[in-house]
Amino acid sequence: MKLEAVELIRLDVPLKSAFRTSEGSVSVHEVVWVHAITDVGEGWAECAANALPDYSSEYHTAAAGVLREFFIPEAMKLGNDLTAEAIAPALHWAKGHRMAKAALETAVLDAQLRASGMSFAAYLGATKTKVPAGVSVGIMDTLPELMKTVEGYLADGYLRIKLKIEPGWDYEPVKLVRETFGEDLLLQVDANTAYTRDDFDLLKRLDEFNLLLIEQPIEEEDILGHARLAEYIQTPVCLDESIVSAGVARDAIEIGATSIINIKPARVGGYIEAVKIHDVAQAAGIPVWCGGMLETGIGRAANLALAALPNFTLPGDTSASARYFETDTTEPFVLVDGHIDVPTGPGIGVDPIREVVDRFTVSTEWVK
Ligand code: NPG
């Protein structure tokens, strides 16, 4: 297989409502797509980098830049030896930029699998045909607004609620949701690194709510700090931003910094590395779940395939298209009894709807 050209597409996809985390608020999903043209057919991927370097150091225009200047030429140098499995080794010399690397690998993998008629689910080792869906609830201006939103998602059938928290929006909203919706609700929180080692007492107060987990409470480099926190509080600590590779996952597990892992393929450089993390965690008895980066259907499809692996035992942020988008870029993913079907077609199993993509496209460039 050979990479002939890549189209980098910048899209602005409007969100139904603003999504606020401890890092900021977004109302438009600004994103780069990688459309790979190979001699065996085309492949698609959505790069998860945000518009701002707020979740990680990556951001969409930097991802497009590093793809254009370094990664796509490197993949082209592979000539007829191109495979999805060859991408990570070929780009290994380049530090970081995992979301950009992931997007290129995913687009090439999509082309490769479409050509051989195999689905992402089959390639990755999925054992389920549908996956339980959770939903991530942003920080709101008021508690009544939060309650109305959570109530709506529970009525939709979501099986687990994740509340975004930050200092000043933690104890009270969590208490109110727990008291209102009862002990049986699967409830977890996500701080996106908003706290510090000085906040352990504050975080300990959340122990009374019997949460599934607290996600990434302190900064991503501070893995030892998470291990100390995990000893101090009862709520299981789950790492997201900190886990950038299977090696880091292994170390974080070993020092007790994480008893559950959020796997986002984009954050770790792609689906092949994501499966390695799944396996490392499984061998250590650590459950995992699939995170999200507000992906449209093109990105969501592949995440659903990953979430169908056996050690994904907790509901993921694999919500339906309607959670975020009035109009998705593919046929919408729908929630049925709290679950979403894993695509079964070749590759990611869905196709972009050209007219919708054109409507949201800000610019395109060809790298040849
Ligand atoms: O469902 O796709 C989704 C989004 C889930 O909360 C979610 N993502 O930190 O996990 C996260 C968070 C996020 C979204 C982070 C956008 C940064 C940007």
Of 166, 226, 174, which Cα lies nearest the Cα of 23? 166
Question: Which atom of ligand 1 has the smallest separation from the CA of 241?
Answer: 9
Measured CA to CA in angstroms, residue 341 lies from 197, 304, 309, 344 at distances of 41, 8, 13, 9
Cα–Cα distance for residue pair 299/156, rounded to 1 Å? 22
Q: Nearest Cα to 263, choosing from 255, 251, 254, 279?
A: 279
| Token couple for 259 | 């008893």
- In this predicted structure, what is the pLDDT of residue 282? 98
In this structure, the dihedral spanned by the alpha carbons of residues 93, 99, 103 and 109, taken in order and rounded to 10 degrees, is 70
Q: Where are the domains of the chain?
A: 3-117+353-367, 122-341
Architecture of domain 3-117+353-367: 2-Layer Sandwich (3.30)
Measured from the Cβ of residue 291, the count of other Cβ atoms closer than 10 Å reads 25
The DSSP code for 29 is E
Q: Which among 77, 162, 264, 368 is annotated as catalytic?
A: 264
Same fold, 3-117+353-367 and 122-341: no
DSSP for 88-151? HHHHTTS-S-HHHHHHHHHHHHHHHHHHHT-BHHHHHT---SEEEBEEEE---SSHHHHHHHHH
346 closest CA partner among 109, 125, 47: 109
**Segment-wise mean pLDDT, segments of 10 residues, the chain, 368 residues:** 98 97 95 98 98 97 98 98 98 98 98 98 98 98 98 98 98 98 98 98 98 98 98 98 98 98 98 98 98 98 98 98 98 98 98 98 98
d(CA 136, CA 318): 9
2 is catalytic: no
d(CA 61, CA 70) in angstroms, rounded, equals 14
pTM above 0.95, yes or no: yes
216 pocket-lining for ligand 1 (C-beta < 6 Å):
no
Q: Using CA atoms, how far apart are residues 253 and 284, in angstroms rounded to an integer?
A: 8
Ligand 1: does its nearest atom lie under 6 Å from the Cβ of 319? Answer: yes
Look at residue 356 in the predicted model and tell me its pLDDT.
Answer: 97
CB 298 within 8 A of CB 352: yes
Cβ–Cβ under 8 Å, residues 52 and 24: yes
Fold of the domain built from segment(s) 122-341? TIM Barrel (3.20.20)
pLDDT at 238: 98
74 C-alpha vs ligand 1 centroid, how far in Å? 30
Backbone angles phi, psi at 239, to 5 degrees: -95, 145
For position 104, what pLDDT does the model report?
A: 98
Is there a catalytic annotation at residue 264? yes
Reference 262, options 344, 318, 179; nearest CA is: 318
> Cβ distance 260 to 315 under 8 Å?
no
Check residue 97 and give its pLDDT: 98
Query: How far is ligand 1, taken at its centre, from the CA of residue 207, in Å?
Result: 23
Q: Which ligand 1 atom sits nearest the alpha carbon of residue 54?
A: 17
Alpha helices in the chain (DSSP H): 60-66, 72-77, 84-91, 98-116, 120-124, 143-156, 171-181, 200-204, 223-232, 246-254, 265-268, 271-283, 297-307, 321-324, 354-360
Q: State whether residue 239 is helix, strand or coil.
A: strand
